[in-house]
Amino acid sequence: MSQAFSALRKFVSPEIIFGAGCRHNVGNVASNFGARKVLLVSDPGVQAAGWVADIEASLQAQGLEYCLYTGVSPNPRVEEVMSGAELYRSEGCNVIVAVGGGSPMDCAKGIGIVVAHGRSIIEFEGVDTLRVPSPPLILIPTTAGTSADVSQFVIISNQQERMKFSIVSKAVVPDVSLIDPETTLSMDGFLSACTGIDALVHAIEAFVSTGSGPLTDSHALEAMRLINGNLVQMIANPADILLREKIMLGSMQAGLAFSNAILGAVHAMSHSLGGYLDLPHGLCNAVLVEHVVAFNYDAAPDRFKLIAETLGIDCRGLSHVQIRARLVQHLIDLKHAVGFNETLALHGVGSSDIPFLSRHAMHDPCILTNPRQSSQRDVEVVYGEAL
C-alpha cells in the first residue's frame, strides 16, 4: 500500500457545481463565457425525458441563442461528431453545452476538438494529441457512471473499423460540470446498473493503476464506499433522491480518480468489446471485471486488500489467496444483485473473435497503466475466461 510521495503528480478537474437543481444555472454559466450562440448537444432519449427543455429554458432566460443537435448514438460515432462540428460552424456557435450520458458528452468533446483543429476526429486518437484549445465546454450528466463530465477522456466509435478509440488530453476536461442528481431520475434499472458498475470499475482500476497516487487514492476509495453501499438500494428505490445523490457523488469521485490515474485492462478490453458489438459500456465492464481483478491481484495485493476492506469484506486472518477469492465473489454477487448475469457468449462472442478483440485492447491507452503487464496472450486468456 505504501507509495512514494516524491513522485510528481498532476490533477486536472473542471469547475464543479454539485447539487439538486444546479442544471438550471447553465444559462448563467454560458453567459460567463461570453456565449453568443450555444450548440446544445443531447440525444433523443434525454430530450424525451425533459432535461433538454430545462436547459433550453435556462438559456432562453439569459437571452442566449442556441441550436440543438441530438444526432448522437448510444456509442457516439465518428460521423456524428463531424456532423455536429459542421452544425457548430454553420450556425456561428461559440460555446458548447451537452446534457446527457457519456455519449452526448463525448460527442460534444469531439465536436470541440474538430472545430478547434479543423481536421477529422480520427486524427486525434491517443494521448496528448491536441494542440489547440477547444471552445468553452459545459457538461450536464444525466447518468451516474461515465464521468465524462469530469474526465480527460473521449471515447468515439469507428463503425467502419468496428472499434472504439480513445483521446486522452487535459484539453478535453470541460470548463464547467453541472452535476445534478435530479437528472438521474429518468434512468431505468438497467441503465442505473450499467453506469453504477462502470463507476465502481473506474474507482477500482484507478486505485490499482500504475498512475495512482495520493491525489487520486482518496477519491477512488470514497467512490467505492459510496457505490458499493448504495447502488443496490438505489435501483430498488429509484425515486429516492438522497440515494441518487450518493451514487452521483460516488460517480464524480471515481471520475476524478480515473481521469488522473487512468485505468486498466477492464477498460481496454471493454472499449474493444463495445466497439466490436456496439454494446453498452457498463455491460462490457460487468462481464469482464472479476476476471481482470483475479488476473491483476498478485501485481498489487496490498491495494486489492484495501479495496476488499473498503467493499466491506472482513480480511482479518485471511491469506491473499483467500482475499482474492472473496473479492471476486463479492463483485459477482454485486453484479447479480443489480441484475447482471452476463457472459460474452450470451452476446454472441465466440473463441474465434478473441484474437481480434485482444489486438485492439492491446492498442488502448488504458492497458498501459494496468498494474500487471499484459501480453496479447494474457488478454486472450482473460477474454476466454469471460466467455
Is residue 265 predicted with pLDDT exceeding 70? Answer: yes
Is residue 372 predicted with pLDDT exceeding 70? Answer: yes
Kindly state the percentage of the chain with pLDDT values over 70. 98
Sorting pLDDT into bands at 50, 70 and 90, what band is 5?
low
By DSSP bridging, strand 176-179 and strand 153-158 are: unpaired
The pLDDT, as a whole number, for residue 304 is 98
Is residue 122 predicted with pLDDT exceeding 60? Answer: yes
Lowest-pLDDT choice from 52-56, 107-111, 128-132, 278-282: 278-282
The pLDDT, as a whole number, for residue 269 is 97
Separation between Cα atoms, residue 212 and residue 193, nearest integer Å: 26
Provide the β-strand partners of residue 100: 141
Q: Which helix (H) or strand (E) holds 126?
A: strand 126-127
Q: What is the pLDDT of residues 312-366, one digit of tens each?
A: 999 999 999 999 999 999 999 999 999 998 899 998 899 999 999 999 999 999 9
Give the fold, CATH level 3, of 187-386: Dehydroquinate synthase-like, alpha domain (1.20.1090)
- 172 vs 341: which has the higher pLDDT: 172
Q: What is the pLDDT of residues 207-254, one digit of tens each?
A: 999 999 999 999 999 999 999 999 999 999 999 999 999 999 999 999
* CA-based end-to-end distance of the chain: 33
The pLDDT, as a whole number, for residue 154 is 96
CA nearest neighbour of 14 among 128, 131, 177: 177
Separation between Cα atoms, residue 239 and residue 229, nearest integer Å: 17
Is residue 293 predicted with pLDDT exceeding 90? Answer: yes
| pTM for this entry | 0.95
Sorting pLDDT into bands at 50, 70 and 90, what band is 6?
low
Buried b (16+ CB within 10 A) or exposed e, 14-41: bebbeeeebbebbbebbeebebebbbbb
Q: Alpha helices of 212-339 — where are they, by DSSP H?
A: 214-236, 241-261, 265-277, 281-296, 301-310, 320-337
Q: Alpha helices of 35-77 — where are they, by DSSP H?
A: 44-49, 51-61
CB 228 within 8 A of CB 247: no
The pLDDT, as a whole number, for residue 7 is 75
The pLDDT, as a whole number, for residue 25 is 98
Of 3.40.50.1970, 2.60.40.2470, 3.20.20.140, 3.40.109.10, the CATH number of 15-184 is 3.40.50.1970
Separation between Cα atoms, residue 169 and residue 179, nearest integer Å: 21
Separation between Cα atoms, residue 50 and residue 153, nearest integer Å: 27
Is residue 190 predicted with pLDDT exceeding 80? Answer: yes
Kindly state the percentage of the chain with pLDDT values over 90. 92
76 contacts: CB under 8 Å, gap ≥ 6? 103, 104, 106, 107, 110, 155, 156, 157
Could you check whether 15-184 and 187-386 share the same CATH topology? no
Helix/strand/coil for 97: strand
| Segments making up each domain of the chain, as ranges | 15-184, 187-386
Mean pLDDT of the chain: 95
